[in-house]
Structures are given as structure tokens and as C-alpha cells.
Amino acid sequence: MKWSLLVVTMLLSANVWAHGPTPQKTDESIQVHATAEAIWQRISAPCALAQWHPQVAACEAINDKQQKITLKNGKQLLQEIDEVSAAEMTVAYRLSGEIDLEALPVSSLNGKIKVSADGSNAKVVWTARYYRAFTGNEPPAGQDDESAKTAVDSFVKDGLQGLKDGRQNAAANQSGWRKKVCASLRPLFKRIGSTLCA
């Protein structure tokens, strides 16, 4: 009897300690001093993230569903757009391919950005569900639950703040050819009183 009790105790202990990653979540919201429709236009445009997210340097649309996002640190993420619902003002997405752990230390991530009217303002809710980078037991530093949550929380909060601040990413707004044309024509536009290329 003692032996069987000992074996059961050991098995239960092993089950307690031998488990993989647990699902993590980030739920953040912010009020933006603009109409819901205006914010929806900013969020739903193809590769829109590069326009208003302070951690994003560029975005390249690979096709109508896939986007390659380049972060300010030079690392890249491949994002799949699962749904864009104008009726619900919602964009649902997920990370795909092999995720660069220096971009986000997660093994998978599904997210949703939703806009709704809040009086004359807009309310933006960003949710993400994800797993840490290391999917086995005893994750190394930087690939644990805490690292994943810290990185995703930061990404989501910075993005929401970028929307609230009305951030316009100049690098994303101006392609190389536009910069060159503006540089050569700026004096002319200035003389005629135009703010084009200002």
C-alpha cells in the first residue's frame, strides 16, 4: 500500500511539473479623439501598420493576405490577414512562417484589432493570444512566458498610443522616388505658395 501511494504521488508530481507553455493573452484598449470611421480607415488600409505603429519601419504587401513587417530593429515578421470586416470594424490576423525571436519571442500569435464609436470619439481594442517562443519545459531566458508577454504588451500598447497620437510614419508615407522629386521641386512649390512636399 505504501509503495502504491508513493508511485501515485510521484506520477502526480511529474504531471504537475511536466507541462508545456500555457496560453498568454494581451487585452488593451484606448480612446482616440477621432471618429470611429476615420480610425477604421487608418487601421484597415493594406499594410496600414507601417503608417502609425512606432515600432514598425516598413510593411510590404506580399499578396492580399500576407504582409512582411519590418521592425525598427531590422527584424521581420510575416503577418497573415484572416479577416477584415468593415461591418464590425475588425481586423483579425496571425503571425505565420518561422517567427524571428528577436522580433517577437513567441511561437505563435493570433490577434484582433476592433474599432467602435465611443460618443464622438473612437475606442480601439487590441487583443492577442499567443504562446512563448520555447514550447518545451524549462524555457531559456528570453523565451519564457514573461518575455513573450512583455514583448507583446509593449507592441500592442505602442501601437495603440501611435493611433491616439495621430502618428504618421514619414518613412512609410514617402517612397524613395517621392523624396527625390520633392527635394528637387520643393523650391518651386515654395515660390508659388504650395505646401506640397513641405
pLDDT tens column, 114-147: 999 999 999 999 999 999 999 999 999 999 999 9
Beta carbons of 163 and 124 less than 8 angstroms apart? yes
pLDDT the model gives residue 20: 72
pLDDT band, residue 47 (cuts 50/70/90): very high
Q: How far apart are CA 129 and CA 144, in angstroms?
A: 15
The grid coordinates listed for 90 are 475588425
> Residue 178's beta-bridge partner residues?
none
pLDDT the model gives residue 15: 43
Radius of gyration of the chain (CA): 22
Question: pTM above the 0.85 mark?
Answer: no
pLDDT the model gives residue 191: 65
Beta carbons of 152 and 106 less than 8 angstroms apart? yes
Mean pLDDT of the chain: 85
Q: How far apart are CA 103 and CA 146, in angstroms?
A: 15
